[in-house]
Every structure is written in C-alpha cells, then in structure tokens.
Amino acid sequence: MNEHLLSSEVQQFIRCYSEDTDTLAFAGSPFENVATRDLLQQIESRRKIKNKLPRWYDTDGILYPPKLNLEQTSSEETAEYKSRLVSGSIMADISGGYGLDSFFFSKKVLELDYFELNAELKEMAEHNLHVLGRDNINFHATDGLAGISGKRYDIVYADPSRRSDVKGKVYKLSDCVPDIPGNLDKLFAVTDKVLLKTSPMLDLDAGIKALEAVSEIHIVAVKNEVKEVLWLLESGQDSPIKVIAVNLKPNGEQVFSFQFSDIAAVNYSKPLNFLYEPNAAILKSGAFSLIAKQFNLFKLHKHTHLYTSNELIDFPGRRFRVIEIFPYSKKTMRSGITFEKANIATRNFPESVADLRRKWKITEGGDSYIFFVISGNDEKMVLICEKIKR
C-alpha cells in the first residue's frame, strides 16, 4: 500500500477529479510519489462503489482496491442484512476480501477474525476498517480454512470466490474457492454454525444436495433484483429447512417465509380485477403455489407466475389494476393497442419482449403495462393494466 495515497493533497485530488480517466491516463500523475495507475485505480474504483458502498465513498482516507476485487463485494444493504444472522462472542470471516461484511459482522460479535490470502487487500481492508472505527477485528493474511484450525468459533462466514483461473466465472459450489462442500468437516470441527454466501444463480435444490445440515436459506433482493443467496448451516440439523425471501427497498422490506418441504394446492382463474407479480426473491424461492395459498389468490396458469383477485390486497411484489383483457391475435391487437408507448412483460409466452415491440410497434415507457401471458386454458392472452402505487 502506497502511504503517499493518504496525503491530504492526493486524497483531495482523488475525491475531486471529475474528468474522464482517459485524460488522466494520458497526462500522467501530477504527484511525484504516486504512480498514474494507482491514482486511476483509486478514482475508478471509488466511482464504481458510489451507490453500492456510500459509507466507503463518503469517508475521508478510504482506499479502494482494483475494480475486479469489487465485483463480488456485497452492497451495504445486503451486508447489513446478513449481519442480523450472526451473534456470539467470536466469529471468523474466512474470505474477508475488501472487508465490507466484516465491518457489519464486527458490530454483532465481541471479536472477529478476518482472513484474506491477498496480503495487499488485507492491508487495505485493515486500514479502512480502522478508519471506520472498528477495533475488534483481528486481521490475518493467510488461508482462512487453515487459519481457523484449532480454534473455536460461534459462527464462521464464507463468501467463496466465484472466479476460477481455469474456468472463469463459476457457479457450482465445488468449483468455488474455497470448496465449502469439500471442507464441511473442517468447518464443523471449529464451529456449530456456518453462514455461506453464494451466487444468486445457484439452484436451491443443487445447493441443498451439495451442503449438509442446511437450516435456513435467505434469498436477498435489493429493489427487486436478487443479489445473493445465504445459507445457514448448523451441525446436526435435521429439521425442515426454512426459506426466507426478502426484498430490501428504500421504504422498508418485503418478507415471505416458508418451509422448503411445504406444498400447497392452488386454484386457477382467468384474470380478475387485480393482477399481482411476486418480487424477485419470491420467484427465486420457487414458492409459486405457497404464495397463492398464503394470500388467497388465484393463479393464471401452472407455469404463468402471475396471480389475480377481485379485491385489492397488500402483496410482496407489484400490483396492477386490470383495465382490459383480450385474446392474442392480429385482429385484437390492432383494435386493443391504442397507444404507442407501454411497459411490456411476458410470462410463459412464446414470443420475446423485443419481438413483440418490433412486431406491434410499441416503444418503451408510458403509464400502461401490457402482460402477454398464457392463461389457464393454454390460451394466449393480453392484459392491459395500470400499476397501483403504494
């Protein structure tokens, strides 16, 4: 770590530089003791985390790693959420990285052991977390699985790297580093609880099969985009797995929970007065029948994950008032689409949004929402709706 990056002049330059970084790359560093590449890294990475890590962006004296090291970093919202799942006297973060998760974990335990093989990244995280006022973290530039050996922890957290030198980006748990399924014995030798973060692309059934003693699965979305899946593993666990689908929003949270083994009968109906679209976390959870049962809704079709009712209800997702319904055909489309702009969505429909826009000359935008769906009798339907604002 170049200490000259922390001088007041350089810090002010990094925070105030507003031009294109190509201009700086061509002109070179204005500071004798700071290389151009180091300045570019600080400016570009700081810009990248502006919305994701506002605390790191706004605090003086923070150092920023290469952009590649920020790809898998949690957002502040998801890091704060996962910190709610931990407690105890001592905890280990065996894939410390940039230190964001460790920052929030350290607020919930008395002592935290941070492990990171990349010595430069470890040094940067240590500097930043001291700047941010965390003084109960022990930093170790070593392999986390080796580092925890012989010690006892209340909980161990792992966020395995999903990038392989051989395979590029990977999604199977056994291809990540460290390989958690292959090292569960080592983990349960030092703790009774493991919290694991995985890609939102990981299939839940595949994760359950690969991991032992899954107690809870948390599917975490931010503003209706699934960001990560969290797995709580508990030694000796044999109870039904609890699934919590949470959508973190600026004005609150939408939470839907159930047992993974739960099944429910579902009733089907043509579209009624109101249409409901579950948030992304619920869709990822696969609770397509359970959501209908819990909220007493009808489903449009077995494979069309939209729901309907005659009376408006509160719902963890988007709500729409159905204005018009007609079968999908050339004739009905020409008479039914009386506007040039609309927000288009397809559910269980054979044509893509792009094809439909091009075919019917509908540009994006406006206040109208058009759903192209397959209904319960396998008929192609068009639903003209207006979104209900909360």
Give the whole-angstrom CA distance, residue 153 versus residue 80: 21
Query: What is the arithmetic mean of pLDDT over 164-184?
Result: 80
Give the whole-angstrom CA distance, residue 163 versus residue 220: 21
Q: Express each pLDDT in 111-154 by its tens digit.
A: 999 999 999 999 999 999 999 999 999 999 999 999 999 999 99
**pLDDT confidence of residue 167:** 58
**pLDDT confidence of residue 72:** 78
**pLDDT confidence of residue 166:** 56
Q: Is the pLDDT of residue 339 over 90?
A: no
CB neighbour list of residue 308: distance below 8 Å, 6 or more residues apart: 269, 270, 271, 272, 273, 274, 275, 276, 297, 298, 299, 300, 322
pTM passes above 0.95 = no
**pLDDT confidence of residue 379:** 94
CATH class of 76-258: alpha beta
Mean pLDDT in the chain? Answer: 94
Query: What is the arithmetic mean of pLDDT over 182-196?
Result: 96
**How distant, in Å, are the alpha carbons of 176, 260, 289, 303, 308 from that of 264?**
35, 12, 6, 15, 17
* pLDDT > 90 fraction of the chain, expressed in percent and rounded: 86
**pLDDT confidence of residue 237:** 84
CB neighbour list of residue 310: distance below 8 Å, 6 or more residues apart: 272, 273, 274
**pLDDT confidence of residue 169:** 72
| Tokens 């200490």 belong to residue | 3
Q: 3-class DSSP state for residue 133? A: coil
Beta bridge partners of 327: 381
* pLDDT > 70 fraction of the chain, expressed in percent and rounded: 97
**pLDDT confidence of residue 41:** 96
**pLDDT confidence of residue 174:** 85
Q: Is the pLDDT of residue 362 over 60?
A: yes
pLDDT band at 357 (very low <50, low <70, confident <90, very high): very high
Q: Is the pLDDT of residue 171 over 80?
A: no
Nearest to 253 by CA among 216, 219, 294: 219
Structural domain boundaries in the chain: 3-70, 76-258, 274-387
Q: Express each pLDDT in 311-325 by its tens digit.
A: 999 999 999 999 999
**pLDDT confidence of residue 164:** 60
Q: Is the pLDDT of residue 2 over 80?
A: no
DSSP letter assigned to residue 3: G
Per DSSP, the residues of 66-81 read: -GGGGSSPPPHHHHHH
**pLDDT confidence of residue 1:** 65
